Amino acid sequence: MADITPVVDAADLAPWVRERATGVDRFLLGIAGPPGSGKSTLAGRLGADLDAPVVPMDGFHRPNAELVASGLRDVKGAPETFDAPAFVELVRALSDPNRTVRCPAFDRTTDEPVADLVTVTADDSVVIIEGNYLLLDRAPWSSLTGLLDATAFLDVPPPLRIARLVARHVEFGRDRADAIDFAHGSDAANAVLVEASRSRADIIVRVDG
């Protein structure tokens, strides 16, 4: 019989991580999920519970000027719109518990990555890394599962996820019609891709609201 990935509620994730990180110099947890699943929110709460820094994959969005020049601006958020090799190298650096690593993050107001917003030091025994494509089974993304000590996938009902996406797009400047189109277009295509990778996770986190 095939192994079944365990499913837990969000509140159970911190104890699950603590058990696995005990006695480990540096434990890297990856949180993956489709757009709008609440990765950043869950990672932030978990980081507060575990006193762990959160490193967002979104810090490796390619700048908008670069996306415009390459004709990718309208599909921002797709795998090819990230600097995946640089992200993999950062995660590789984070696996060394003796290094201080400065990591970029993403400013939704300017819609641009910002360098050196998160600092990980030797005092950080747990580091949380969150992003859509941590489990993607294509190079160079596929290297990540060998670098992360454990991975969690967020399972969120599609109507809730889409409602969150539309609200987020409107909050940061899109009109509602455009927000709905983007959520059902580019975001939806990315969600299908991300959902296909869920079987590679170590644990599924159920989020109902």
Cut 0.95: pTM above it:
no
pLDDT of residue 189: 81
Sheet strands side by side (includes 54-56): 7-9, 203-206, 150-155, 27-32, 126-130, 54-56
Burial of 152: CB neighbours in 10 Å, binned 0-12, 13-18, 19+ = buried
CB-based contacts of 115-118 (< 8 A; 24+ apart in sequence) = 117/59, 118/53, 118/54, 118/55, 118/56, 118/59
Scored b (16 or more CB within 10 A) or e, 62-86 reads bebeebeeeebeebbbbeebbbbee
The secondary structure element, H or E, covering residue 80 is none
Residue 35 φ/ψ region, left for φ over 0, alpha for ψ in the -120 to 50 degree band, beta for the rest: beta
pLDDT in tens, 53-98: 999 999 999 999 999 999 999 899 999 999 999 999 999 999 999 9
- Give pLDDT tens digits for 22-31: 999 999 999 9
| Residue of higher predicted confidence among 201 and 163 | 201
Compute CA 48 distance to the chain's CA centroid, rounded to the nearest angstrom: 17
